[in-house]
A = this chain, B = another copy of it.
């Protein structure tokens, strides 16, 4: 399953990257660069400067250059970065050259929306299996996939070579589901349930919690409200604030 050899540069075999430990902060920004690059590419741009790409991705240009330098990028001084080449580079580093199989557990309100989300397929992923514990849901067909019973997770996950598990069940069931995913050999989990998951070392968990996002916004609202009522007119710009780019 692990592919390494991979001529990422068209015509230029070059040395296999065996690439370094990217700073985590950089890794988190690469997808953003990638999206911006795709937009630029579709808009007809062949090259882009760090300034331009930084604007499109909503970050500082120095940061962007440093990020790209970490993966030994191929920019041309005086010109900028080759859009197509950079896309290929980043996709390789992120491991998107192989379309990763995603298994989705919990086909409720959120699960339905996720199952039908085209943003997954267009960004390097493929949902290959849907699971639920509710007998009424099992058998339902959604976007060409049939909902399987959770008990089949182990079998189906290995058959379909599921690399990433997505949990969209109620919080109470999330840990049990995570355990089953891990038992099935899944080593990456995206968790939408508002709870902490316990997983063995080597398994990565990322969490998305909408209420937390709203509460952070609420904090800044609260802060802004008390600031306007006070002297000292700092135009306080919060955390998630973003600059940038017209279309």
Contacts and interface: CB of A to CB of B under 8 A. Distances in A.
Identical chains bound together, number? 2
A217 interface: yes
Question: Which bucket holds chain A's interface residue count?
Answer: 35 or more
A69 to B, nearest CB: 17
Interface in A167-219: 175, 187-190, 194-199, 201-219
A28 interface: yes
A72 interface: no
Q: Name the residue among A110, A207, A240 with the largest chain B CB count within 10 angstroms.
A: A240
Contacts of A208: 208, 210, 213
Q: Name the residue among A28, A96, A196, A212 with the largest chain B CB count within 10 angstroms.
A: A196
A114 B214 CA distance: 12
Interface stretch (A80-88, A115-123, A147-155): A115-123
